[in-house]
Amino acid sequence: MPVQTKLMARRKKRPLPLLENVEIMDAGAEGKAVARVDEKVLFVPFAAPGDIVDVQVYKKKRHFLEGRITALKKVSGYRVEPKCAHFGLCGGCKWQHIDYAYQRRFKQKQVKDSLDRIAKVPYPGIQEIIGAEDIYFYRNKLEFTFSDRRWLTTLDPVAAEGEMLETRGLGFHLPGKFDKILDIDQCYLQKEPSNDIRLAVKAFAIEKNFSFYNAREQHGFLRNMIIRTSTTTDLMVVMIFGEENEEAIEMLMNHLAEKFPQITSLMYVVNTKKNDSIYDLEVRLFKGKDHNMELMRAARPDRKPLYFKVGPKSFYQTNPQQAQKLYQTAHDFAGFNGDELVYDLYTGTGTIALFIAPSVKRVIGIESVEDAVEDARKNALENDIDNVEFHAGDMAALLTEDFIAGHGVPDVLLTDPPRAGMHPKVIKQILQAAPGKIVYVSCNPATQARDIALLDEKYRIEKVQPVDMFPQTHHVENVVLLVRK
């Protein structure tokens, strides 16, 4: 198309509307609030149900609109003052402006809506959501990104805009932007010394004139930083460098070790690839241990607590206090009598399998990631648990009639799949095996409800228990007990 024709086509485009006095009705998908305008759904980030706002539409589709607040005309009774100065631009805590009691209410409603609209099967009343005692500083892992350009918020959650400064920054990616980093001063997600470490590294790097990474041109010395705290006193820092510069690496790592003697595991990675993943790279130990130790109380008070080694690449629930409640719920829903054979699908590093193992005869864990299975086996040895076995492989390919014939039909099946839910082949095999009970743990009530609809052929819902793992966000975990009809 000629340039002149393109310009004419742009001029003919009608400007997107500014909507006035819009009443926000509900909390919706991906943390956005919901309104209705001219029979269309309008999604508005950083709004609260009960707000009356003016909204500038920035996306118009056939069945829905998206817009941002330009004026707050009436403040919802659900609103509170956000604690974080970066609220409105950072994508990490999108519900920080909503009172926590109402956050829990909206999350419970999300579970109910999924069961009603997607599963469409009978279920008993949903038990009251298990809330978090700590609604800030609850994460045990954060990853920060260095950038040779930093983006600053206007500190106005209504505007939700930012400006780029020609200086170096260390913080989080702006939502949907791989090359824009929000420079973070104070983050309320991870306990100290997380903020102190991040700010000290940034200050030292600027003082020494180390180069910060440029994601578009893919060069720079400082690339990422991972901080892992723990339920014990362990503290891990992993620096990720974009260049192999021994002198600069030694200088920065020594500075960290001297300034923060409480770091028990100090490591680094050199990543010269085009992506940020370190799972295929060597992690080099600079000082201390190569892992954190996590502590979890046993499911039964007469059993000793569990310890889990968490390495730089290991997966472990990022909210350990709520993970304890989640696993306890799954354990209690199953109602073990001690004689059961249990299958734990999508077992990860075996945390749930090892948590329930003392209460049953045997547990068989299945996981697609080989490294995770290796961690699970090590954790079993660490805790002197010998009634578990772990298998690595694609779930749909591994869980077959032959596998079940060789290992036994489970009495109880526990499944904790990723957000996408279970593969239809897995559901079909579960229906064929027909265990007496299924405990379905999910981080996505919508895909969980979809799978429950397929399992309805042989199973009825006995119990439903939401658990809030991530305060200040829209995410909710849900546990459902299914009993064979």
Catalytic residues: 443
The terminus-to-terminus CA distance of the chain in angstroms comes to 63
Alpha helices in 335-444 (DSSP H): 351-356, 370-382, 395-398, 401-407, 424-433
Task: List, as one string, the DSSP characters of 176-232.
Answer: T-SS-EEE-S--SSS-TTHHHHHHHHHHHHHHTTPPBPBTTTTB-SEEEEEEE--SS
SS (HEC) of 277-346: CCCCCCCEEEEECCCEEEEECCCCCCCCCEEEEECCCCCCCCCHHHHHHHHHHHHHHHCCCCCCEEEEEC
118 Cα distance to chain centroid: 23
- For residue 162, give every residue at least 6 positions away whose Cβ sits within 8 Å of its Cβ, in sequence order, or none: 89, 151, 152, 153, 154, 174, 180, 182
Contact call for residues 447 and 478 (beta carbons, < 8 A) = no
33 vs 148: CA distance, rounded Å: 34
Name the residue among 374, 192, 414 with its Cα closest to residue 200. 192
Buried-state track 372-396, b at ≥16 Cβ within 10 A, e below 16: bbebbbbbbeebebeebebebeebb
Rg of the chain over Cα atoms, rounded to whole angstroms, equals: 25
Name the token pair of 7: 């310009």
Name the token pair of 472: 């200040």
Specify the pairing of strand 477-484 against strand 437-442.
Answer: antiparallel
142 vs 434: CA distance, rounded Å: 40
Q: Is residue 105 classed as helix, strand or coil in its secondary structure?
A: helix
425 vs 407: CA distance, rounded Å: 19
Q: Is residue 425 classed as helix, strand or coil in its secondary structure?
A: helix
421 vs 481: CA distance, rounded Å: 16
